[in-house]
Amino acid sequence: MAEQNLTTAQTQLRQHFAQLVAQNKLVHAYLFAGPQGVGKKALALWVAQGIFCEAVQAGIPCGRCNECRRIAEHNHPDVVEIVPDGLSIKVDQIRFLKAEFTKSGVESRRKVFIIQEAERMTNGAANSLLKFLEEPSGDVTAFLLSANTSQILPTILSRCQLIELPRLPKEQLQQQLIQNGIGAKQARILANMTESVPAAEQLQANEHFDSLVKLTQQWFNMVIRHDPMAFVLVQSKLMPEIVGRDERELCLQLVMLLARDLLLQHLGQDEEVVFTETSIETLGTVETARLVTAVELVLKQSRSLMVNVSFQTILEKLTLRLMDLYTPGTGSR
């Protein structure tokens, strides 16, 4: 609930909701959509504080009164939060919620409920909630939060006002990671691979992350020099680091950034480049089309992760195809 570090978009959304609170114009149900870590829950709690705050000013909560503090501590009887129980939100959880709200107001008539990861509602839970949204009893505001709105039943969607929370701008994410103590270079890589601070920190916490960054870059540099040792590196160094699906995705994402870097350097957009040590100079003149094809090729490989192809085979194919695409002297200028 910290006030600092709000993005422009987050500030604007708060202003918008403060106005609605002040004018008593909140609708019954909102769906906050956006990737993990963009502040969906913080916004919902902030609006809830605005509703209950004892010293609210123009819809803006004081953040210090008893009501504000209890909401921040998730300990307010009229602000009920539902999180998935295991993998899903079950019908019993929604029934509990409804029971809470049919009890005449514990402390006031106002009620707020917040459903996190709303896409995880079972069909039973969603249908139960739907009835509730159709005939809300009393003064209820619902916040459904989701990073995957495509998985929410259309009937639920149609009952909610959709509010999209945009992802953090890359530079801002990078700055925030640096403030959290992550080195500048790593912060730049992470900001290009994820959409939020928690997602970046989670990625960085992967014990294979550092070695994968180092080895993938090493492998890529061999590929652009057409060094056949690239194949050995795949087998002897890279593969042992790739223990599961997360590492497979991570590795291909890094290859993607490296291939994109070459293209960016070629186009003279050097300020966007992530891995500055990997230089297009090594390549000499290569046609733009080939650099674009290389990026597309890596993208296509990411999709083939879905099917059951050995990752070593994927990397070996990539090594061959990229060596072919990155053939110097093919540029016509």
Task: Summarize as ranges the residues that interact with Zn ion (CB under 5 A).
Answer: 53, 61-62, 65, 68
Q: Which is nearer to Zn ion, 49 or 253 (CB)?
A: 49
Q: What are the DSSP calls for 93-149, one per residue?
A: HHHHHHHHHHS--SSSSEEEEEETTGGGB-HHHHHHHHHHHHS--SEEEEEEEES-G
Least Å distance, CB 108 to Zn ion, is 14
Least Å distance, CB 30 to Zn ion, is 21
Least Å distance, CB 113 to Zn ion, is 20
Q: Which two tokens stand for residue 232?
A: 């050995």
Q: Which is nearer to Zn ion, 53 or 286 (CB)?
A: 53
Q: Which is nearer to Zn ion, 6 or 91 (CB)?
A: 6
Least Å distance, CB 73 to Zn ion, is 13
**263 by DSSP, 3-state: which?**
helix
Least Å distance, CB 105 to Zn ion, is 19
305: DSSP letter? T
Least Å distance, CB 26 to Zn ion, is 17
Cα separation of 75 and 251, whole Å? 42
**15 by DSSP, 3-state: which?**
helix
Q: Which is nearer to Zn ion, 45 or 53 (CB)?
A: 53
Least Å distance, CB 64 to Zn ion, is 6
Which helix (H) or strand (E) covers residue 266, if one does? helix 245-266
Q: What are the DSSP calls for 52-73, one per residue?
A: H-TT-BTTB--S-SHHHHHHHT
Least Å distance, CB 1 to Zn ion, is 11
Q: Which is nearer to Zn ion, 53 or 318 (CB)?
A: 53
| Sequence-separated (6 or more) residues with CB below 8 Å from residue 209 | 203, 250
Which helix (H) or strand (E) covers residue 176, if one does? helix 170-179
Q: What are the DSSP calls for 192-251, one per residue?
A: HH-SSHHHHHHHHTSTTHHHHHHHHHHHHHHHHTT-THHHHHIIIIIHHH--SHHHHHHH
32-45 burial string, b = 16+ CB within 10 Å, else e? Answer: bbbbebbbbbbbbb
Q: Which is nearer to Zn ion, 68 or 140 (CB)?
A: 68
Q: Which is nearer to Zn ion, 71 or 140 (CB)?
A: 71
Cα separation of 9 and 11, whole Å? 5
Q: Which is nearer to Zn ion, 1 or 65 (CB)?
A: 65
